[in-house]
Structures are given as C-alpha cells and as structure tokens.
Amino acid sequence: MCIDVITLGIATADVMVRPVDSFPDRGTITLVPHAELHLGGLAAVTATVLCQLGMSAAFIGCLGEDSFGDFITHNLESNGVDVSHLRRTREQSSASTVVLISEDGERSFLHHVGANALLVESDVDFDAVAQAKILHWGGPSVTPGLEGKPIGRVMAKARAAGVTTSVDTCFDGSGRWFAHIEHALPHLDIVMSSLEEARHYTGKHEPEAIADAYRSYGPETVMVKLGGDGLFVKNSEEAHYVAAHDVPVTDTTGAGDAACAGFLYGQIHGWSLLRCGQLANAVGAMTVQVMGGAEAIDSMDGPLALMEGSPHREATHRK
C-alpha cells in the first residue's frame, strides 16, 4: 500500500508549563496557570500534521512500554498515523520533555531521550519505505542509534528505491552538530532547519549562505525556518523569503515540525517552491496560536485561508 510520507525519528510526551519567565528558588514552589500534556517530537508531530492536512503518514520510532508510550501511540493512531512500524520496548522509558514556555511563547526544554536512543537501522522497514513518496528523518542529535553511517545507508537505500528523502534538524546539546548529518546529506533531497540550528550545522550566518552550504553537499532544496521572521526557501532555480503571518503567539513548540508537514504536502502535490514555503509558513502560524505542536490543524481549509487573507509581519531578513 502506497503511503505519502514515512517519518523516522523521535516522538515524545511533552509536559508543557506556561508561563515560566523565571525559575523558582531552590526548595520553593511557584504556581502556574497552565500545565498540559501534548504529543511532541519532530517525526511524530510532522506525521500527525500531515494526516490532519489530508495526507497519509506512517511513523517509525521506538517507545517504552509505559504510560507516556501509551499516550503517544494513542495520539498518533487517533490522528490517522500508521503505527504498525513502531517498536515498543521495556529496555528504556519513552522519551519525554518538560517544556517551559515564557509569556512571549519562547521555550526552554528539559529533555529525556529515552527509547528514542534505541532506534536503529534495523527498525526501518525498507519494503514499506519503498512504497512511500517521502522518507522524512526528524531528530538528528536525539536519535544516536541512527546517526552517522547508519542514517547515510538508510537514506541512500530509500533514494535508490525512488523515494524522496528529507530531514528536519534538531538542536544538539552535545555540540557535535555536523557529524550527526554528514553521512545523510549526500543522499537527501530536502533539508529543513531552524536558523539557529543551521548556523551551528553549517558555520554560516545568513539564510541564503546557509542554504548554499547545505546544498553544496547534495540536497536540492533547503528551507530555513526564521521563527518570527517567517522562512527562507531555495533550490537550484529560485529563492524566496516568506514573511511571517501577524498572529498572536501562545506557544511556539512544534511549529517548525508542523511547518515541515506543510512543506512536504506542497512537494508531494507538485507545488512551486514559493507556494510550498507559503503553506509551511501558514501551518506554522496556526500552530503558534495554541498549546502543543499537533493541535491547531483540522484540515487544509485553515492554512489555505491564512495563506490568502492574513496580514504579514515586517521581516528582518530580506533577499
């Protein structure tokens, strides 16, 4: 059975607390008005939002046999994500993140890698991958069992089967950065990366220089996520800045992962690079207005309406 996108990588249970603008003194307690549990993780959120947009998606990952794992699995299934390639284990607990959200929507994270660390090359069902249109890796630096030569082999094999390959990078707390993705890059078609992460991965500062650096290793298309300034997209034929929508910001968690889903939707439907970027931007803008990364999208109607009618912010970056 053909599936639109298989996401490979991390899924987490996000315990989200808002607003947190300072830490309590040691040994004291601070009361907060909002504490919620949401689905998180680059690969899980992207798969979920793809299904919400009307695509078919499957998730390959590893979760513990625990309550967080049950929560993540149920959430994925209830959104229509195929979890038949998900591995559950007693060796490690499920990944989880405490997300501390400031009044302006910025986040800080306390992350437990958990069972995500056990995800390995042999977990990838290549018969299923060969039937997909896109294989998307979400989680460099937090999927250590895949990184380096294994993910290079995975992406090379997927590409050889005619599957488009993509990655959404992640912040690297270990400081290794480029080493996580170097073996995958020659076998990737699309790289999606936040500006701050991309500066570390490429050593470049401005979005276009970052895109050129990524493309020099082989990928055709790059999307650099600029947060409140929107995003930048480039391929061999064109480059565009897409300004952010002027929307109220509640929580930016998962907005970049959701934006990746919008971009991949456009790619599958053969849209122009600019229109793919505009959809990614609109999906991200809807996501920041609510708590959680996979809560804002009901269908394509909302993002399309936002693309057509919403005002944009003045962007800092200009081409």
Any idea where the domains of the chain sit in the sequence? Answer: 3-20+34-308
Distance separating alpha carbons of residues 163 and 173, to the nearest angstrom: 31
Residue 11, burial from CB neighbour count under 10 angstroms (0-12, 13-18, 19+): buried
For residue 319, the model assigns a pLDDT of 43
For residue 318, the model assigns a pLDDT of 46
Residues 6+ apart with CB under 8 A from 53: 261, 262, 265, 283, 297, 299, 300, 303
CA-to-CA dists, residue 122 to 2, 61, 90, 144, 306, angstroms: 21, 11, 18, 14, 41
Alpha-helix residue ranges (DSSP H) falling in 141-193: 149-160
Residue 68: what residue type? F
Once rounded to an integer, what is the mean pLDDT over residues 292-314? 83
Which of 134, 148, 136, 89 shows the shortest CA–CA distance to 116?
89
Helix (H, G, I), strand (E, B) or coil at 73: helix
Which of 233, 230, 231, 213 shows the shortest CA–CA distance to 222?
233
Taking each helix axis as running N to C, give the angle between helix 255-268 and helix 42-52, from 0 to 180 degrees, rounded to the nearest 10: 50
Q: How many residues in the chain? A: 319
Whether 134 and 166 have beta carbons less than 8 Å apart is answered as yes
pLDDT band at 237 (very low <50, low <70, confident <90, very high): very high
Which of 82, 1, 89 shows the shortest CA–CA distance to 43?
82
pLDDT at 65 over 70: yes
Which of 194, 212, 198, 130 shows the shortest CA–CA distance to 164?
130
pLDDT at 143 over 50: yes
Which of 63, 42, 21, 48 shows the shortest CA–CA distance to 171?
42
Distance separating alpha carbons of residues 190 and 162, to the nearest angstrom: 14
Please report which helix (H) or strand (E) contains residue 240, including its range.
strand 239-242
* Gap between the terminal Cα atoms of the chain: 42
Residue 249: what residue type? V
Pairing of β 96-101 and β 12-18: parallel
Strand order in the sheet with 164-168: 57-60, 3-9, 132-138, 164-168, 190-194, 221-225, 231-234, 239-242
For residue 104, the model assigns a pLDDT of 82
- Helix, strand, coil share (%) of the chain residues, nearest 5: 35, 25, 40
Question: What average pLDDT does the structure give for the chain?
Answer: 93
Q: What CATH number belongs to 3-20+34-308? A: 3.40.1190.20
pLDDT band at 310 (very low <50, low <70, confident <90, very high): low
pLDDT band at 316 (very low <50, low <70, confident <90, very high): low
For residue 311, the model assigns a pLDDT of 60
Residues 6+ apart with CB under 8 A from 83: 58, 59, 73, 76, 77
**Model pTM greater than 0.85?**
yes
Please report which helix (H) or strand (E) contains residue 306, including its range.
helix 301-309
Share of the chain above pLDDT 90, in %: 82
For residue 106, the model assigns a pLDDT of 80
